[in-house]
A and B are shown apart, each in its own frame.
Chain A
Amino acid sequence: MDSGARPNKSLDASTVTSWVRGRGVYVAFVVLVIFNLIVTPNFASVVTLSTLLITVSPIVLVSLGVALTIGTEGIDLSVGSVMALASAFLPLYLGYGWPVGLSVALLVGVLAGLVNGSLVAFVGVQPIIATLAMLVGGRGLAQIFAGGQSLPVTDPVILWLGQGRLFGLPAPVIVAAVAVLVVGFLVRRTTFGRYVVAIGGNRSASYLSGHPVRRTLLAVYVISGLLAALAGVVATARLGASDPSNIGLLIELSAITAVVVGGTPLSGGRVKVVGTVMGALLIQLISNTFIANDLPFTWAQVLTAAIILVAVYLQKGRGVV
């Protein structure tokens, strides 16, 4: 679902290599799956697959938003803290019924996105700094509002979002899948999606083409905040309790990695939705592989770094100059 150039119709050798290169993440993923099939006990099972999909769901949700911000040549470091904010607020208003609790939690995400977006679009603060401030301050706020405590969530509808199933499909996976479809549709089919990549590709040119640059930027950060809040709700539901101190901790690193490994360049001008999903799956699978084989955490981290480098290296090629 990339909005960038599709491969040429004429298939000569260089086109094929460049096609493979553009998809380093798929190659890496397939290799890792094969490795697991051979090495990891009980890997080829429905449960394994569903666990993988469930755990990856929150990462996919935040990655989608981060991908959009990166597409505009920005970034959103605050997603983890926004998850925490949503998690903190969710139980506070569940007493009024789940629609209220859920709306408040999502609204908090929208608000955080509005703050980020306004700073970026109207004040002209660099995205990395604006969202860094939200990363630092947002979690602090979440902890203050929740009194640092983890509160249990018992509302069945909310719990379903984290633990339920529909037609045998885990609810978090359904939520993530819907988000993927919606964002994919936005990116591919709508003027908004075009504005996003145009702004990322050349902001001045986009402005001079009459694109609503500021509004689009604002919208991108709001969407990212909303998706992060949704991820926060899902994670909270899965845990059965809010946990503003820990939910979403460092998830921004996973998300950025997923986006970049998935082929969206940090320099903006392109958004790869499917690639992002694959990127998220890849990094989750890496971590699952290490845990399932009881490899020491420290070396797992070293190897994760190496795999990220290889996957990104495989897809560079679209060099500059």
Chain B
Amino acid sequence: SPPGAKTEGQGSGGGGKKAQQDIAQATGDVCKVKPPDLKLQDAVVGFSQSEKEVNPFRIAETESIRSEAKKRNIEKLVYTNANSQASKQISDIRDMIAQDVDAIIVAPLLEEGMDPALNAANEAGIPVFLIDRETAGKPCEDYITFMGSNFYKQGKQAADLLADFTNENAQVAVLEGTPGASVTIDRTEGFEQQLEEYPDMEIVASQTGEFLRTKGQTVMEQLIQSNPDIDAVYAENDEMALGAIQALKDAGKDPGQDVKVVSIDGTEQAVQAIITGDINAVIETNPRFGPLAFDTIEDYLAGKPIPQKIIVQDDIYTKKNAQEKLDETY
């Protein structure tokens, strides 16, 4: 596979609950801004997606926003996609402002670099709602609120789970996401930090699989060859985990048994793999922001106070609950 530079980043993986009430857990202060006099049905809402829909998470996220907009009969949904380019996301948002949208839902690409867009929206008096990734700036001032998962915490959870499965003694291979993506950074840092709690667990290799199944497979093939003693794999998304499983089987290992596998997202195929015993656990990241986002916009338009941060409660799938929760996956 090519040694090329790329960023087809995956977003966070996603957990699978459907109802927004379940996922929302407001934290921090509330925000109260004076809204314009407008009904949601008459609003033109912009949605700035950060990356192409190349993985289940992004697909489910965009789909959720689109179908919810349709369901609620809103006037128009203006959809743009930044194709992983921060500069494009800014001009996308500015294009929406030029079109006089009434509210903008942004799935930010980067933590940094959104200032010019947020400023421009502010100047035009258009409220911005962030989903799935946070970005630098103050809630209530630069944007209304953030809704999403805590990737850092996901990394920590993964470390704890792996420790649990391996009796706190393992040679761990890490399959990282796209280099430079904030999801990758947080999930790696959370994992590494938490692993320090377990002195007998050692990371023997940490390589990027670029959130891709193919890449996850080839990288795992290489790693298992040069490090035959690997007995735990942390994959920062489900796709890479599925690729790694294939590679482990090819190398004569039994994933789930000889080699414990933990990954993040909660896609249907991954949870299915828990049932068949190839993956030990999956940490959920919920991509279905549609209902939550539009509820929040509705609250905002109604002049209700909005929490400054709405952190999604992510589930954990294991052998115990995989079967029953399978239809919550995406």
Q: Hey, which bits of chain A sit against chain B, CB under 8 A? A: 40-43, 45, 47-48, 51, 55, 143, 148-150, 152, 163, 235, 238-241, 243, 245-247, 249-251, 253-254, 283, 286-288, 291-294, 297-298, 300-301, 304
Q: Shortest beta-carbon distance, A246 to chain B, in Å?
A: 5
Q: Which 4 pairs from chain A and chain B are nearest by CB? A: A245-B54, A292-B226, A250-B4, A291-B222
Identify the interface centre among A40, A47, A163: most chain B CB within 10 Å of its CB: A47
Contacts of A143 in B (CB 8 A): 53-54
Mark out the residues of chain B between 227 and 253 whose CB falls within 8 Å of any chain A CB in the assembled complex.
Answer: 227-228, 243, 246, 250-251
Q: Does B19 contact A (CB under 8 A)?
A: no
17 residue pairs from A and B, CB less than 8 Å apart: A40-B226, A45-B225, A51-B221, A51-B225, A55-B218, A143-B54, A148-B54, A149-B59, A150-B56, A152-B269, A239-B214, A239-B246, A245-B8, A249-B8, A283-B3, A291-B207, A300-B3
Rounded to whole angstroms, the CA-CA distance of A313 and B4 in the bound complex is 21
Size bracket of the B interface? 35 or more
Chain A minimum-CB-distance residue to B63: A148
Q: Does B113 contact A (CB under 8 A)?
A: no
Rounded to whole angstroms, the CA-CA distance of A298 and B54 in the bound complex is 23
Q: Are A41 and B179 in contact, with the CB atoms below 8 A? A: no
Q: Does B204 contact A (CB under 8 A)?
A: yes
Q: Are A240 and B246 in contact, with the CB atoms below 8 A? A: yes
Rounded to whole angstroms, the CA-CA distance of A291 and B222 in the bound complex is 6
Chain B minimum-CB-distance residue to A246: B212
Q: Are B54 and A288 in contact, with the CB atoms below 8 A? A: no
Q: Are B226 and A286 in contact, with the CB atoms below 8 A? A: no
Q: Are B204 and A48 in contact, with the CB atoms below 8 A? A: no
Contacts of B8 in A (CB 8 A): 245-246, 249
Rounded to whole angstroms, the CA-CA distance of A288 and B223 in the bound complex is 9
Q: Shortest beta-carbon distance, B181 to chain A, in Å?
A: 13
Q: Shortest beta-carbon distance, A42 to chain B, in Å?
A: 6
Q: Shortest beta-carbon distance, A148 to chain B, in Å?
A: 5
Q: Are A293 and B226 in contact, with the CB atoms below 8 A? A: yes
Q: Does B297 contact A (CB under 8 A)?
A: no
Q: Are A294 and B228 in contact, with the CB atoms below 8 A? A: no
Rounded to whole angstroms, the CA-CA distance of A254 and B243 in the bound complex is 21
Contacts of A55 in B (CB 8 A): 1, 218, 221
Given contacts A51-B221, A149-B59, contact A41 B226 (CB under 8 A): yes
Q: Does B98 contact A (CB under 8 A)?
A: no
Q: Does B325 contact A (CB under 8 A)?
A: no
Q: Are B3 and A287 in contact, with the CB atoms below 8 A? A: yes
Q: Are A286 and B3 in contact, with the CB atoms below 8 A? A: yes
Contacts of B59 in A (CB 8 A): 148-149
Q: Are A253 and B4 in contact, with the CB atoms below 8 A? A: yes
Q: Are B217 and A239 in contact, with the CB atoms below 8 A? A: yes
A interface footprint on B3-32 (CB within 8 Å = 1, 0 otherwise):
111101000000000000000000000000
Rounded to whole angstroms, the CA-CA distance of A222 and B170 in the bound complex is 51
Rounded to whole angstroms, the CA-CA distance of A252 and B269 in the bound complex is 29
Which listed residue, B214, B219, B250, touches A246 by the CB 8 Å rule?
A: B214
Q: Are A301 and B227 in contact, with the CB atoms below 8 A? A: no
Q: Does B313 contact A (CB under 8 A)?
A: no
Rounded to whole angstroms, the CA-CA distance of A41 and B204 in the bound complex is 13
Rounded to whole angstroms, the CA-CA distance of A298 and B222 in the bound complex is 17
Which listed residue, A149, A287, A294, A297, touches B1 by the CB 8 Å rule?
A: A287
Rounded to whole angstroms, the CA-CA distance of A294 and B228 in the bound complex is 13
- Other 19 A-B pairs with CB < 8 A, given A239-B243, A294-B223, A300-B3: A42-B228, A45-B225, A55-B1, A150-B269, A239-B214, A241-B269, A243-B214, A246-B214, A253-B2, A254-B3, A283-B3, A287-B3, A291-B218, A291-B219, A291-B226, A292-B223, A294-B204, A297-B207, A301-B3
